[in-house]
Every structure is written in C-alpha cells, then in structure tokens.
C-alpha cells in the first residue's frame, strides 16, 4: 500500500512540476526579490555594487511633514502685505539648505491652507508618489462600488428567461474579452478633444450648447474619464460572477416570497441580497485588487499626465523601476502596494465575516 | 374562510397540454388531497391555485372571487413547500415572521403572532436558532409556522412530508391533521402517498395525466373506485387485477372467468360490461385468504415471495397462467417458497372494470 502511495505521489509531483517551477520562478521568487531589493540602492543597470540602505527608499517615498509658517513682519511687528494679502517667506528658503529645518531638506509643497494668520504647508519628499497614492485610492473608492453595483444591476436584468437573453449577455461581456490596451486605444478616440465621439455626441444632443472638452488633456477630467472607461470595460466580468451567485439561490425561496407577498424590492432585500453575501465578498475583493493594479489604461491613454493628475501606484512603480532604472525604488512601491492591498483584503474579510 | 372552485381549469406549455380541464369544488374548511403518481401534474395544479403558474384556461374561484389573474399575495393563500423554502440567513423567528415583516407589522404584533404560532407547533425553544441547526422535521415546522402566522384562508401543502423519514412523516402527518381541526381553514394537500391521502383527507382527488380520475371521500374511493387506476392506486398493497372474460351480465352482477379462475358471479359497480368483453377483475390483497384445509378454493398459486411484518403476512403468488397476485393475511404465518396455496375470496368484495 505504502509503495503504491509513494509511487503515485511521485507521479503527482512530476505532473505538478512544470507549473510549480514556473510559479516559483515568476511569482514567488520575484515577490521575495522585490522585498529584498526595496532595502537596497540597486539600480537596473549599474556598475556600482549594491548597498543595503535600510528604509531609505521608504522614507524617500512616504516622507511627509507639516510646516506652519507665520507671515513676514516688518521691524514694527506689522504683517507685511503684498497685493492685499499677507506675505509669507518663500518655501524654498526653508527647504533648501536651511540649517534650522534639516528635516525638511529637499521636501516640496503638496498642499497648503491658511490657518488664522499663519499658513500651513503639507510637505512631501515625493510629491508625485503621494499624488499617485491619492489618485489610486480615488480610483478604487469610485470604481469598486460603482462597478460592483452596475454589474449586479446587469446580472439581475439578464437573470431571466427571455428570448434572446444570451445576446444581451454576450454584449455586456464583450469588452472583457477585448484586450485592455485595445480598449484604451479606442477610448482615446472616443475622448478626443476635437473630433472625439463623446464630444460629438454631447454636441449633438445639446445642439452645440456643450463645448468640446479635451477629456484626457484636462487635469480635472482625465482621471474621471479613465474611471468611466475602466468601469465599462470590466463590468461584464463581474456581472457573470454575480449571475453565477444569483443562480445558486433556490427558486422556491422566490416562490415562498411571492406567496408571502414580497414586493420586488423586498424580494431583493430579504431573499436575493442575503443569498449573494459570499458572491459580494468575492466581487468586492477582486474589483479592489484589480483597481489597485491600475496601469495599462494610464500607460496607453495619459502616461500619468496631465500635470500628474492620472499618476497611479503601479504606473509609478514601473515608471521608476524601468523608466528611471531605479529598481529598488520601484520595488519599494510594489511592497507598499502589497501592504495596502493585503490590509484592505483583511479588513474586507473581517467586515464580511460569517457572524454566528 | 374560503371555498375553492376549479372550473374547466387548463394548463398548456405551448403545444403541450398538461392539465386538460379540471373541475373540482372544495368546501370551506375542507381538507382536500390531490393524489396521483409522479408526473400526474398534481403539483402543477396546486401551483396554479397558488398563483405560481399561469392559468391557460377555465376559472379559479377562491372565496367567491375569480382569482385567475391575481398575484399570489392577493389570493389569501399560504403555501408549504416540499423543500421547506425557509430562508437560510434568517433565524426561525424571522422566518416565521417573514410575511408579517413584508406586510410592515410592528414588532409587538409580530412577537405576539410568532409566539402563538410557535405554541401551536410546539417550537418555542427553536425560535432563535438558524435553519442550519434544525432537523428536517423542525424545518418543516418552521415552514408551517410561516404559513399559519398570517392566518390565511387557504393552506396549500406541496408534498410537505416527502423529505422526512418514515417515523417523522407519521408524526407530522398527525400534526397536520390536528392543525386542520384546530384552525378550521381550507387546506389543499398534494401527495403521491396514498396513506397520507387516506388518513388526512375529507375529500380525495385522484389525478392521472392532468385529468381527474375520481373525487370523493377516502372510503368512497376505496370501496367504490370509478376505474381500475383509482382502484389500483388506493390501498396497500395495491389491488390485484385478473384479466377475465365476461360471460353474462344481469341484475347488477356479471359472471366472469379466465384460465385460472372458475366462472364466478361478481357485482358490477362501475361501467357497463357486455357479455363476451374482456374485463379486469380487481381483488384487494386483504380479501384473498388461504382456503381451509381440504378445500380447492377459487385460485391456486405458487408462493414466490413472502414478507412477514408480524401483524401481517404478504405473499406473492404466481398463478398457472403466470399472472402474479398479492395476498395480505392479517396474521403471522409461515409459507415456504414454492408451496402451492389454494386461495379463496368473497366475490362480493371484488371490483369489475370493463375495458
């Protein structure tokens, strides 16, 4: 018995071997490599030996400070006014070679606001990366609920017996099978500032009242445009997951609901939604992870611009690691992303845990 | 409370006519059982009454209103499903109160009504459990609780005991019988189990292939079945049928015989057999008995199977023309396989069905 077990066990390893080697070589090894590299000053191609630099990469990426600056006063103690507003010392004078503020050395303004007489600056060592984090979070916070909600709506619509329902299913699913790069290229035409489809459409339905907008060239619309297109692209995939969840709910439960007099909304509230709990967890975690990995759309459509308004974490990781050949900085970004996604997944799991 | 009248009720799926014109009238407070073999469309008929299936033709009248096109909730019916259909994510209390929650009742009303239902069904101790912690019988109680809490005019049961084991099925059957007496509501009960039908029903409707075979009280159907199907369906073990030839007819009786049976005079209860016709002679297994020692009896058969139940002994016998018969003796007796047994029966207790 035992020899047979061992023999078939060996056969099992042989069969699992190729996949195990590939996973180890291309997933597990790089994962630990990235963590190790993030503590060094390794560059992609460099004659210099690699040095251990501790948390320097992380400090460079995440270093932030808050600085409160009082207005410039003259000898009499009066606030100096300039163009009707109090004048403040220039920020550069404080963050460049200023012996009084060694910890602010090299930092740049990320944001500022007035607090009474003083001005408060939020400074960051890496303003672009901070913008990338904020943009990524905006993207996730909008895409996750909207995409999940729309997908559920579509799933409810197509989860019925109707002639030709498969045509609808196919249509909604189509964008998923098209490469995201192709989709991004197409949407670049749709969003075109002069003769794009969207501008033409808006112009036509408003009889020219809505002027053309350069959707991807305007810092205030670029991220929104990418969000809309990303939601459209993957909604069909999540629709299919919702649909499979819907079909696990026993039809008799709906019949019992109908007999008890449940309205459409009550049926959804008391029967459908509770039955979709596990599916909801899956859909939300998958969308969140995909949304944090936002890269291809940015790379094809905006390259992070205009004015860094569409910078994202993954785009920054690749831009730094390969564009600037700063592989240790790119690795550090990857590790930060890993920690963010892991924490959010754990929080989601905890929030949606089975309560007994 | 409500009487129910089905008039020419029909159901078709496209070209397939599955219910072919059914007329049934059920009095207020009556316990009516639809019984028939699998695929006889008894459940479809019940679901049409519930409003879960469209009605293709005829009229359905509940409590003096034609409800053909009303949604289930406006028909004043409650239904208990074979699969219980209780909501897995709700506690027993929430499940029982579901209809009240839907109707927007306040918490005090709900608590009082749920407590009342739990008392009737003796499941007060289960109220805070989840369905996954309940046995099959307890789940069915919850389903019944959800039905009674709204005080509906009509209860519909769709094979409610089929998923339970035999002992529990008998307990629940008695409970449902008691429930009917205490609530006094009209109940329609679908089953393929003739024992449930016989024990529970005020009125049995026997269905086959979407057509009513016979309607009547259990004893009417048992003693005066309208056709061979009804006769064979009710009673356990099933009635034996002998292929016979009708020799003569007269005075509400007929003389029949076949290769294994000497000519015998039997009563004619249904149909009009003619001399020379082929017919089926039905004899219930309980009315077949071994002939006293030394007598030839009317039938001779070889024992091919015996089942001893203690209070009853069931014999399967093969007649010389290779027809098989079942005899149920109301005592414990030992018969060796292969023994030839002479059987007698009282011709007055037979049923003749002309083809």
Domain architecture of chain B: domains with CATH: 4-233 (3.40.50.300), 240-348 (2.40.50.140)
Contacts of A259 in chain B (CB under 8 A): 50-52, 72-73, 77-79
Of A250, A255, A266, Cβ closest to residue B52? A255
Note whether ipTM > 0.90 here.
no
Which pLDDT value is given to residue A209?
Answer: 77
| C-beta neighbour count of B252 within 10 angstroms | 8
| DSSP code string of B271-333 | S---TT-EEEEEE-GGG-EEPPTT---SEEEEEEEEEE-SS-EEEEEE-TTS-EEEEEESS--
What is the least distance, in Å, from the CA of B125 to any CA of chain A? Answer: 18
Counting one residue from chain A and one from chain B, the pairs whose CB atoms sit within 8 A come to 61
> Which residues in B116-230 belong to E strands, given as ranges?
154-158, 186-191, 203-208, 211-216
Cα B101 to Cα A251, A273, B117: the distances in Å are 20, 16, 15
Contacts of B52 in chain A (CB under 8 A): 255, 258-259
Per-residue pLDDT 10s for chain A (356 aa) are 455 556 667 888 888 899 999 999 999 999 998 898 888 888 878 788 888 888 888 888 888 888 888 777 777 777 777 777 777 777 777 777 777 777 777 778 878 888 777 888 888 888 888 889 999 999 999 999 999 999 999 999 888 878 888 888 888 888 888 888 998 999 888 888 888 888 888 888 888 777 878 888 888 888 899 999 999 988 999 999 999 999 999 999 999 999 988 888 999 999 999 999 889 988 988 998 889 988 888 888 888 878 888 889 999 889 888 888 888 888 999 999 999 989 988 888 888 776 65
Of A259, A263, A270, Cβ closest to residue B50? A259
Of A259, A263, A271, Cβ closest to residue B87? A271
Tell which residue, A126, A90, A120, A93, has the closest CA to residue A108.
A126
| DSSP code string of B53-78 | S---EEEEEETTEE-TTS-GGGGTEE
A278 in B contact zone (CB under 8 Å)? no
pTM for the predicted model, two decimal places = 0.78
Contact A252 B146 (CB under 8 A): no
Q: Where are the domains of chain A?
A: 66-124, 128-351
Which tens digit of pLDDT belongs to each residue from B285-328? 999 988 887 787 888 889 999 999 888 999 999 988 888 999 99
3-state secondary structure chain A: CHHHHHHHHHHHHHHHHHHHHHHHHHHHHHHHHHHHHCCECCCCCCCCCCCECCCHHHHHHHCEEEEEECCCECCCCCECEECCEECCCCHHHHHCCCCCCHHHCCCEEEEEEEECCEEEEEEECCHHHHHHHHHHHHHHHHHHHHHHHHHHHHHHHHCCCCCCHHHHHHHHHHHHHCCHHHHHHHHHHHCCCCCCHHHHHHHHHCCCCCCCCCCCCCCCCHHHHHHHHHHHHHHHHHHHHHHHHHCCCCHHHHHHHHHHCCCHHHHHHHHHHHHCHHHHHHHHHHHHHHHHCCCHHHHHHCCCCCCCCCCCHHHHHHHHHHHCCCHHHHHHHHHHHHHHHHHHHHHHHHHCCCCC
What is the least distance, in Å, from the CA of B258 to any CA of chain A? Answer: 52
3-state secondary structure of B10: strand
Contact B102 A256 (CB under 8 A): no
Residue reference for tokens 């078939």: A8
Q: What would the CATH number be for the domain defined by A128-351?
A: 1.10.3720.10
A152 in B contact zone (CB under 8 Å)? no
Contact B73 A266 (CB under 8 A): no
Contacts of B86 in chain A (CB under 8 A): 256
Distance CA B22, CA B49 (A): 12
Distance CA A237, CA A152 (A): 11
């Amino acid at each position: 018995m035992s020899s047979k077990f061992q023999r078939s066990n060996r056969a099992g390893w042989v069969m699992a071997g190729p996949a195990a080697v590939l996973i180890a070589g291309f997933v597990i090894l790089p994962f630990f490599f990235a963590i190790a590299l993030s503590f060094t000053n390794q560059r992609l191609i460099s004659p210099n030996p690699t040095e251990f630099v501790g948390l320097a990469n992380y400090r460079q990426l995440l270093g932030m400070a808050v600085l409160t600056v009082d207005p410039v006063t003259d000898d009499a103690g009066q606030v100096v006014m300039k163009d009707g507003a109090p004048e403040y010392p220039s920020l550069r004078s404080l963050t460049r070679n200023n012996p009084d503020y060694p910890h602010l050395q090299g930092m740049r303004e990320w944001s500022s606001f007035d607090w009474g007489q003083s001005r408060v600056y939020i400074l960051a060592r890496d303003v672009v990366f901070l913008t990338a984090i904020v943009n990524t979070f905006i993207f996730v916070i909008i895409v996750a609920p909207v995409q999940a909600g729309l997908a559920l709506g579509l799933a409810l619509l197509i989860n019925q017996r109707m002639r030709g329902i498969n045509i609808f299913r196919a249509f909604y699913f189509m964008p998923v099978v098209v490469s995201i790069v192709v989709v991004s290229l197409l949407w670049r035409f749709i969003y075109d500032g002069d003769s794009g489809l969207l501008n033409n459409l808006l112009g036509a339905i408003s009889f020219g009242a809505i002027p053309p907008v350069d959707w991807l060239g305007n810092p205030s619309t670029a991220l929104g445009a990418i969000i809309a297109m990303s939601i459209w692209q993957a909604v069909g995939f999540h629709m299919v997951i919702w649909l499979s969840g819907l079909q696990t709910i026993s039809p008799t439960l709906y019949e019992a609901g109908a007999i008890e007099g449940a309205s459409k909304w009550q049926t959804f509230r008391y029967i459908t939604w509770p039955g979709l709990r596990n599916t909801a967890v899956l859909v939300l975690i998958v969308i969140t992870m995909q949304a944090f990995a936002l890269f291809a759309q940015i790379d094809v459509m905006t390259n992070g611009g205009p004015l860094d308004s569409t910078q994202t974490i993954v785009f920054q990781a690749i831009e730094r690691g390969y564009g600037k050949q700063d592989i240790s900085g790119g690795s550090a970004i990857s590790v930060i992303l890993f920690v963010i996604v892991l924490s959010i997944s754990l929080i989601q799991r905890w929030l949606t845990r089975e309560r007994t | 409370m409500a009487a129910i009248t089905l008039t020419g009720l029909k159901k078709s799926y496209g070209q397939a006519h599955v219910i072919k014109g059914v007329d049934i009238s059920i009095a207020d407070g009556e316990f009516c059982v639809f019984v028939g073999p699998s695929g006889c469309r008894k459940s479809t008929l019940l679901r049409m009454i519930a409003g879960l299936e469209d009605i293709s033709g005829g009229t359905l009248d509940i409590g003096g209103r034609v409800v053909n096109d009303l949604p289930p909730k406006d028909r004043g019916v409650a239904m208990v499903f074979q699969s219980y259909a209780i909501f897995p994510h709700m506690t027993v209390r929430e499940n029982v109160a579901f209809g009240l929650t839907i109707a927007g009742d306040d918490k005090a009303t709900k608590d009082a009504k749920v407590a009342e239902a739990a008392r009737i069904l003796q499941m007060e101790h289960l109220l805070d459990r989840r369905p996954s912690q309940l046995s099959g019988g307890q789940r069915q109680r919850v389903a019944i609780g959800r039905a009674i809490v709204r005080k509906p005019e009509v209860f519909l049961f769709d094979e409610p005991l089929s998923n339970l084991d035999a002992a529990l099925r008998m307990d629940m059957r008695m409970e449902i019988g008691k429930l009917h007496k205490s609530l006094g509501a009209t109940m329609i009960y679908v089953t393929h189990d003739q024992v449930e039908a016989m024990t529970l029903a005020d009125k049995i409707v026997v269905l086959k292939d979407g057509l009513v075979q016979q309607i009547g009280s259990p004893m009417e159907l048992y003693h005066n079945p309208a056709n061979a199907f009804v006769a064979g369906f009710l009673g356990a073990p099933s009635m034996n049928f002998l292929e016979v030839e009708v020799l003569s007819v007269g005075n509400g009786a007929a003389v029949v015989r076949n290769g294994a049976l000497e000519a015998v005079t039997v009563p004619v209860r249904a149909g009009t057999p003619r001399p020379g016709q082929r017919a089926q002679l039905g004899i219930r297994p309980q009315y077949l008995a071994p002939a006293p020692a030394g007598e030839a009896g009317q039938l001779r058969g070889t024992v091919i199977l015996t089942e001893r139940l203690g209070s009853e002994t069931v014999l399967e016998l093969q007649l010389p023309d290779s027809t098989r018969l079942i005899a149920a003796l109301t005592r414990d007796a030992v018969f060796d396989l292969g023994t030839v047994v002479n059987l007698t029966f009282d011709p007055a207790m037979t049923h003749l069905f002309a083809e």
